[in-house]
């Protein structure tokens, strides 16, 4: 199944440096967005390590089967591509730990990440942190990921409304990240795609200022993928642009191949 894609990354209006990274490898069906944290150069190092190491692991495991030797134990509850993404996140986490051991100025760096691996009508989705994935199908936007963040946990517990969460001083605190720790937990899901579907991967520089309804409206009004990415970033900046923002859109070809 043919996949087309477009992306845009922008530092926003209040940051001098862009700590987001993304990777698109349509030849293997891999698309990744990462949002680095850590101050100085740490955030951008962590996010670039994440997208690079996830790519390397995915590319090196394309021919492996469940009975082969995997970098991490094979999870029989997941698809092979789900295992490839989970192993890629684990590999990125270990590389971040190694870099922090070697460079004192990188200690404390971390990154969120969201990735999709598409194979025909099946897609594996993995994420850690508050970078998100959305599915746009038949004029409806559905969020596919749940943020690993303090405010999201409070919202799920009924302690915060969405509006209050957007203004809360702890809104940027994530509860999971690729940080080099030994207790990494990656959320992995499987998505069955249909012709015409669009998937949006984004950093929280978008979702922290635009709600899901606003994101859906922009996607509905922009049929060209690059225009859609650009407009999402433009609207995030128009809403104040408080953070780096990255959007990556991919679309499954329609039955006619368009």
Q: Is pLDDT above 90 for 60?
A: yes
- pLDDT for residue 182: 86
Q: Is pLDDT above 50 for 221?
A: yes
CA distances from 76 to 73, 81, 83, 180 (A): 9, 11, 9, 25
Structure tokens, 50: 């994440």
Residue matched to tokens 């922090």: 100
- pLDDT for residue 69: 84
Give the integer Cα–Cα distance in Å for 69 and 65. Answer: 8
Q: Is the dihedral of CA 208, 16, 105, 51 positive or negative?
A: positive
Q: Is pLDDT above 50 for 257?
A: no
Residue-range domains of the chain with CATH? 3-145+177-252 (3.60.40.10)
Q: Is pLDDT above 90 for 216?
A: yes
Q: Model confidence over 126-176: pLDDT tens digits?
A: 999 999 999 999 999 999 999 998 777 787 788 777 777 777 766 778 999
Percent of the chain topping pLDDT 90: 76
Strand locations in 60-159 (E): 110-119, 122-128, 132-137, 140-143
Q: Model confidence over 18-43: pLDDT tens digits?
A: 999 999 999 999 999 999 997 667 99
């Amino acid at each position: 199944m043919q996949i087309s894609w477009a992306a845009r990354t922008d530092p926003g209006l209040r940051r001098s440096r862009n700590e987001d990274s993304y990777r698109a490898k349509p030849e293997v069906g891999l698309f990744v967005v990462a949002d680095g944290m850590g101050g100085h150069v740490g955030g951008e190092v962590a996010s670039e390590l994440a997208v690079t190491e996830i790519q390397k692991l995915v590319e090196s495991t394309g021919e492996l089967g469940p009975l082969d030797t995997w970098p991490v134990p094979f999870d029989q509850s997941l698809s092979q591509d789900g295992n490839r993404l989970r192993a890629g996140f684990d590999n990125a986490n270990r590389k971040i730990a190694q870099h922090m051991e070697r460079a004192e100025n990188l200690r404390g760096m971390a990154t969120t990440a969201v990735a999709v691996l598409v194979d025909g009508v099946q897609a594996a989705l993995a994420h850690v942190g508050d970078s998100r994935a959305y599915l746009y199908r038949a004029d409806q936007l559905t969020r596919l990921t749940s943020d690993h963040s303090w405010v999201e946990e409070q919202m799920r517990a009924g302690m915060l409304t969405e509006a209050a969460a957007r203004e809360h001083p702890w809104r940027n605190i994530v509860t999971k990240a690729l940080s080099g720790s030994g207790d990494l937990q990656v959320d992995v899901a499987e998505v069955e795609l249909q012709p015409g579907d669009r998937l949006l991967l984004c950093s929280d520089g978008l979702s922290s200022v635009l709600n899901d309804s606003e994101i859906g409206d922009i996607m509905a009004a922009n049929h060209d993928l690059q225009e859609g990415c650009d407009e999402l970033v433009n609207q995030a900046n128009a809403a104040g642009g408080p953070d780096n923002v990255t959007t990556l859109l991919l679309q499954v070809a329609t039955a006619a191949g368009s």
